[in-house]
Chain A
Amino acid sequence: MNINGLSFNALPPIDLPFRFFLSAPVFVIICAVLMLFSGETLWLSRWQPSMLALTHGFTLGFITMVMMGALLQLLPVIGGVGIAKPRPIVLVCHSAFVIGTFCLMASFIWPSTLLTVITLLMLVLGLGIYIVAIALVLLKRLSQGDSIIGFRFSIIALFLVVLLGVLMLNLSLPTAIDLSALSSSFTGKSITNIHAALGLVGWGSLMIISVSFQVIPMFHVAPTFSKNITRYLPRGLFVLLMVFAFQPKVIAPVIVLVHGVFALSLLFIISKRKRKIPDNTIRYWQLAALSLITLNIFYFTPEAYLPEAVVDKKVILIAAFFIYFYLVAVIQGMLLKILPFLSYTHLQQRCLTNFSAMQFLPHMHEFLDKRHGQWLFFLHLITGVILLSTIMFPSIYWLLSLLLIIEFSWLLKIMTKVTRLYFSTLNKINSSVNE
């Protein structure tokens, strides 16, 4: 195939994804403060209002926030095309999403019709425009087909998550629509379980899996994943999720197993990379893969072999393990890789029209000190262990809160340093062009 003169979009301006990245740790810090003030009662059940605020602070405020920003940059790199008019779209999406997520957390703790209406408007506006903008790109014929197909499924899952979320939120309004009229599957807590599964597995995991097919071979000079994995795993996972809505007890173990298969193939690809230099992002990928394998062992261990206290908390333990040791781990690891990479790439491209400006480019390590990334990794490990311990022994909630504040403040510090260095270097390059 010869490619000559086709229209390819350049990377969107760096401040657009960076505003998503920089907002994300703030939400976890807010969650940690909420945890500190809520005390032990927060950990009594997953249905506690503060726990709902906490889970949405993590999943929307951190996970979705970073993924939204990362996808803006990944699409032009992987598929060659980015969203049209990125600045106005991102300005609206980011602002509405930040306000909407914050109001959603608040509305769980202080239920009010006004808060619910603002939440609905802001989240539908922020996520709705974002989904349409990304969908318009994904509808085009792009290269790297299997990953792009995974992205499509993931965006459909996000749309369904938003739809179910809106339907559930509307129940607290005077003009509520009764969901049980739609289907017997949409009653009681089952709709929440479908909403959670679509969010964590369909939007979160499916996107991470599809991204991994591209970024691991690219960033770590590793072989490509097996064609069977890239072709059938995202499609299979999406079909399983659709059936999960009607047969959750039958499908849930298969979804767990599929993640085990992904974890094994991930570890295999990582072990085959050409240059086995120590790398923090690789550590995070390995942690994520080992966590998925551990999750499989835990999930399939007969309850008779587990302590009663663990069996009682099995669902919340699995959810916390999946979110913290898999989703958040991969996202943190990716941030450590893409923050310096994007900064460097954007600056390098500036030098194309003025090669003498290359002298101002800092070394990659100046953007992010490897030791700082390593400390973040160890902080993440410790915080994760304390998270699981807090679920079992809620009295240590204060320790978890403290560790979360330290970990995500550290992440914010790392991000701020990268951003500052980017803009100071950009100023030098611009000054040299104007001279």
Chain B
Amino acid sequence: MQSSLKFITVDVSSLAPPEPMTVILKHLAKLTHQECLLVKHRRQPFPLYEKLKDAGFSYHCVVHAQNDIDLYIFYQSAQNLFDELFNEALERKDINKGGN
């Protein structure tokens, strides 16, 4: 996935709570409307989801396995662009659809 949405990847899977949230927050503070944060995590940060929406962000989570998830976070204004890029990548199989 390339083009006009720049992806910034951060791996928090080996961090103990609340460090993953700290790392995510620091990156979100710098995130622009043309960027998407890809968080590699061990588990879904469920309580974060509603707060992200309230704060004007959108998210998309891909569960690959029980301890392997990809969480995409971007501004709600970039939703269409993200969907387009994500679907393209799915077709090219750049993104693993994951389990279940």
Contacts and interface: CB of A to CB of B under 8 A. Distances in A.
B47 A219 contact: no
A425 interface: no
Nearest to A354: B55
A8 B98 contact: no
A349 B43 contact: no
Question: Dominant SS at the B interface?
Answer: mixed
A353 B55 contact: yes
A355 B57 CA distance: 13
A77 B46 contact: yes
B25 to A, nearest CB: 6
B2 interface: no
Contacts of B67: 217, 224
B15 interface: yes
A210 B4 CA distance: 45
B16 A355 contact: no
B55 A3 contact: no
A3 B47 contact: no
B15 A4 contact: no
Given A10-B47, A143-B44, A352 B17 contact: no
Of A1, A9, A77, A79, chain B has the most CB atoms within 10 Å of the CB of A1
Interface residues of B, number: 35
Given A2-B98, A221-B15, A349 B48 contact: yes
B49 A8 contact: yes
Of B46, B47, B48, B54, chain A has the most CB atoms within 10 Å of the CB of B46
A364 B54 contact: no
A351 B22 CA distance: 10
Contacts of A355: 25, 28-29
Interface in A363-385: 364
B29 to A, nearest CB: 4
Contact of A218 (B22, B43, B98): B43
Interface in A1-39: 1-4, 6, 8-11
Contacts of B60: 2-4
A35 B20 CA distance: 45
A348 interface: yes
5 contacts: A4-B60, A345-B21, A348-B25, A353-B55, A364-B18
Given A218-B17, A218-B42, A352-B28, 16 more contacts: A2-B61, A2-B63, A8-B47, A77-B47, A79-B46, A80-B46, A221-B16, A224-B67, A341-B17, A349-B51, A352-B57, A353-B55, A355-B28, A355-B29, A358-B26, A364-B18
Give the top 7 A-B pairs by smallest Cβ distance, nearest first.
Answer: A355-B29, A80-B46, A1-B100, A352-B55, A3-B61, A10-B50, A1-B63
Interface of A: 1-4, 6, 8-11, 76-80, 143, 217-221, 224, 274-275, 341, 344-345, 348-349, 351-353, 355, 358, 364
Interface of B: 14-18, 21-22, 25-26, 28-29, 42-44, 46-52, 54-55, 57, 59-63, 66-67, 97-100
